[in-house]
Amino acid sequence: MGDPDDRGSGAVKQPDGGVIQRGRGGRARSLRPNGTHEQPGIERHEVPGTVRVGDYHEYHHADRWNAVDTPLRAAGDIDWLASDEWLAYDVYIQAAGSYELTFHVAAADTFGGGDLGVVVDDDPLRRVAFESTGGWYDWAEVTTEVRLPRGIHTLRLVVFEGGWKLKQLELR
C-alpha cells in the first residue's frame, strides 16, 4: 500500500483527493479543504507523551454523514474513521530526533485494516498500513518510527483508507 516512508516522494495524495506538492526547498504546500472543524480550548500536547484521539485541534470530516462542522466526541475512541478524513494536533516536541509512534486501533474483520499518513507542518513523514484486529473492541498497537523537529508544530493524521477506530497515539 505505497511506500512506507513517503518523505522522499515528490507528492502525496491529500485526503480530499488533491495533492500535497513539494515546493522549492522540499517544503510541502496545500490548501485547507472545506469541511474543517476547529475545536478551541484544546491545550498543546507535549512530546514525548500520549494524545487522546478526541483532543484534536482541527478535524476534517469529508462531509461525514452530510454534517457541517460537527465535532467528534472528545472522550474515548472515535468510531469508524472514514477515508479522506484527517485529525490535527498542536504539539510541543521537546527535542528533535527519532520517536516511536504507536497508534491504538481497532478494525473489524469485515472492514479489513486501515491506511493512514503522518504529516508534520504539511511535511509528509510516514504512511502506515495495518490489518484487521478482529473486532471493533479488539485493540491493537501499530508502531512506526518518525523523525521529528524540536519546537511547536502541527501533527496531522490523514486517513487514506478508513473503516477503523482510533483510541490514542503515543510518541516516545
* Domains of the chain, CATH where assigned: 6-10+37-171 (2.60.120.260)
Closest CA to 160 of 54, 56, 82: 82
Which residue's C-alpha cell is 473492541?
137
**Tens of pLDDT, residues 76-96:** 667 678 888 899 999 999 999
**Tens of pLDDT, residues 34-64:** 566 677 678 899 999 999 988 888 888 766 5
120 strand-pairing partners: 123, 155
- The structure's pTM equals 0.74
